[in-house]
Structure 1
Amino acid sequence: MIEAKNFGVSVLYGVITIFLLAAITSLVFSFILSFTNTQEKSIRLLITIISFFSVFAGGFICGGKGRQKGWVLGGTTGLLYSLIILLYQYLGHGSLFTLEQLIYYTCYTLTAMMGGVLGVNIAGGPTQQQHH
């Protein structure tokens, strides 16, 4: 059983990873859109792909940090990320998720779950011991 402190720290690492990657990506794309003739609609697919990569990376980091139950850690990371965005959108802009956004955030959560599973498997899980 994964202890609560380790669970919380792992999920926090995952969510922070997602938001850091999102901030860096937003900064890069804002420069691209500001200083070139590129239109937002022409890079929308690239932004979506990078968003999924960021959520996957957050789940991966979370699973690697937690070292067990990657699907639970990744799923919790994806749900917490989605909840933070929903709260920002609702409290800051007075609107709930649209059906399209609900589908995206469900897919983000599933992607974070996959990242969490892979993170646990790459990190070696709880049974792998260090050799001195």
Structure 2
Amino acid sequence: MTIESKNLGMAILYGVGAAFALAIVASFIFSILLRFTSINESSLTYVIMAVSFISLFIGGFISGGKGKKQGWMLGGGTGILYMLIVLLFQYLGHDSLFSLKQWIQQGCFVVTAMMGGILGVNMNSSRNA
């Protein structure tokens, strides 16, 4: 394993870690809102979806910024690793695979993380220029 591939792998891990950290914080906030207000879960569906996309975009952005090149690959790797972890959690914890709707949603998460990775590389290179 070369130094470069190790750095790219670490960048992906940083991005996935950031995406999960943001998702955990958002889940905590939403659970407090649901517990202590009269808001029901169905009214937050689109807000939760938007926060999920934002967290994957930021995760891709961080991985692209850390890797400094090949942002589409770093963001895609971040999105795919995130998807695999969620799939394993759902399969091992709930004994079910993704539905078609969930596959589409996860595919959109991967694309969003890729866009974040591309932007992360470009923002990093513009600061260094």
TM class, shorter-chain normalised? over 0.9
CA apart distance, 1:26: 0.3
Q: Which residue of 1 aligns with 2:4?
A: 3
2:13 corresponds to which residue?
Answer: 12
Q: Which residue of 1 aligns with 2:90?
A: 89
The one-letter code matched in structure 2 to 1:54 is S
Scaled by the length of structure 1, the TM-score of the pair is 0.93
1:65 aligned partner = 66
Give TM-score scaled by structure 2 length: 0.95
Partner amino acid, structure 2, of 1:77? T
**Could you tell me how far 1:123 is from its partner in structure 2?**
0.5
User: In the alignment, what sits opposite 1:74?
Assistant: 75
Note the 1:1-132 alignment, pairs <5 A.
Answer: 3-124=4-125, 128=128
SS at match of 2:114: helix
Deviations 1:28-82 (A, max 9, x none): 0000000000011111111100100000000000000000000000000000000
In the alignment, the residues of structure 2 paired with residue 120 and residue 46 of structure 1 have an alpha-carbon distance, to the nearest angstrom, of 28
Q: Which amino acid aligns with 1:10?
A: A
How many aligned positions are there? 127
Amino acid in the other structure paired with 2:5: A
Moved over 2 A (4+): none
Separation of aligned partners in 2, 1:30 and 1:106? 26
Identity %: 54
